[in-house]
Amino acid sequence: MNRIEIFQDPVAFNIGPVPVTQTMLTTIGVSLGLVVVAALMRTAIRTRPNGRLAAVAELTVDALDGLVVDVVGRRVPWLTVFSGSLFLFIATCNLSGQLPGVRPPTANLATTSALAIVVFVTVPAAGIVSRGPVGYFSHYLKPNPLLLPLHLISEVSRTFALSMRLFGNMMSGHLIVALLVALAGILVPMPLMALDLLIGLLQAYIFVLLSTVYVGAALRTATGEE
């Protein structure tokens, strides 16, 4: 029972006084893989615009752009970059849990909290850049200054919910597979692992959709449509 770990992160090795955990290694591996694929796609678009890799790149960018247009109502290139990076990173992290011996980095509360804090910082930054500090912070006082505490609580609680949702889903999926392997055998958890594929992609989509909605709401209050 003690070997089941929810919050612990096994240390792979130490660099001087700094412990390097498995999550850090997997995260760096995922980032490197994504960067290499992106660089390959970039050269493919320049040299072979009709090739297969270029088509994949165009489809990916088009889908992510469509997501932002659906949520915000207009094209916001930097938001596409932000949401797209989040989606590709989280989806790859979630799916990396299917590799043998790899624990998905998103099944660690530190990773998901870091991602949620990025969103938490981006929302007011986007609002302030679009309309200035006064324009953005005045929306906290609408429709009534009495609601200011509720606005502030919702900012924090939705960040918390964002990180806990991703963490809980990925950790529980991984844990259920581990428990079934320990209790039943090798082939029994296969349906659940297939479900994990779906849940991993769905949770990545939901995380990105919610963060896009949050940032889009900050932009919308800035343009005065709400």
Contacting residues toward other proteins, per CB under 8 A = 1-2, 4-7, 70, 161, 164-165, 167-169, 171-172, 175, 202-203, 205-206, 209-210, 213
Give me the half-sphere count of Cα atoms (radius 13 Å) on the Cβ side of residue 85: 10
Taken in order 194, 188, 93, 211, the sign of the CA dihedral is positive
Beta strand spans in the chain (E): 11-15, 18-21
* Length reported for the chain: 226
Q: In the complex with other proteins, which residue's Cβ is closer, 66 or 191?
A: 66
Give the shortest CB-94-to-other proteins separation in angstroms.
Answer: 14
Give the shortest CB-36-to-other proteins separation in angstroms.
Answer: 31
Residue 48, CA distances (Å) to 54, 56, 58, 59, 117 in order: 7, 12, 13, 15, 39
| Angle ∠(36,80,116) on CA atoms, nearest 5 | 85
Q: In the complex with other proteins, which residue's Cβ is closer, 193 or 206?
A: 206
Q: In the complex with other proteins, which residue's Cβ is closer, 41 or 162?
A: 162
Give the shortest CB-165-to-other proteins separation in angstroms.
Answer: 4
Q: In the complex with other proteins, which residue's Cβ is closer, 92 or 211?
A: 211
Give the shortest CB-225-to-other proteins separation in angstroms.
Answer: 17
